[in-house]
Amino acid sequence: MLDDLLRLAHVIGAAVLFGTGAGIAFFMVLADRTRDPRLIAHVAGTVVIADTLFTATAAVLQPLTGAWLAHRIGWPLTTGWIALSLVLYGVVGLFWLPVVWIQIQLRNLARNAADANLPLPPRYHRLYSIWFAFGFPAFLSMIGILYLMLIRPDPVF
């Protein structure tokens, strides 16, 4: 029973990470396309809250539930597919952490532009380009992790 609940918590965590990331990207891209600082500020503000509440919580709990589940089942963390999943999780983190900071900057820049009734500044567009580019390796790494969780190929290497 505990193993089933732990597996459920781990799968829900993966769904939250993947779903929140995809949803945030979708809404930020659509907001950016409007070039409307007020709309972008609002959406980016919501994105920062969602990332804090959902993504950050799941990002902390995911490796804990995964390690606990692997221990309970008897899988060493050095098992090929688990080790590769951990490497990919590190890649996600390397790209996600700067993205969180960038989202806060995008929100602030859009708020400032909206308050001053000005267009978005060049710094906004530079940061948005970085934010957009960083999404691809993180998203592809999450797909890889989900694949490995489902298929559990052994050996991977």
Give pLDDT, residue 130: 98
Nearest to 9 by CA among 77, 65, 73, 74: 65
Q: Record the tokens describing residue 127, joined without a space.
A: 């940061």
Residue 156 buriedness (CB in 10 A; 0-12 / 13-18 / 19+): middle
pLDDT score for 156: 54
Asked if the bond preceding 137 is cis, omega within 30° of 0, the reply is no
What is residue 129's predicted lDDT score, i.e. its pLDDT? 98
Residue 63: both structure tokens together:
């490796």
Q: Which residues of the chain have pLDDT under 50?
A: none
> Angle 38-56-105 (CA atoms, 0-180°, nearest 5)?
35
Q: What is the pTM of this model?
A: 0.91
pLDDT at residue 110, as a whole number: 98
- Compute the distance between CA of residue 91 and CA of residue 116 in angstroms, rounded to an integer: 38
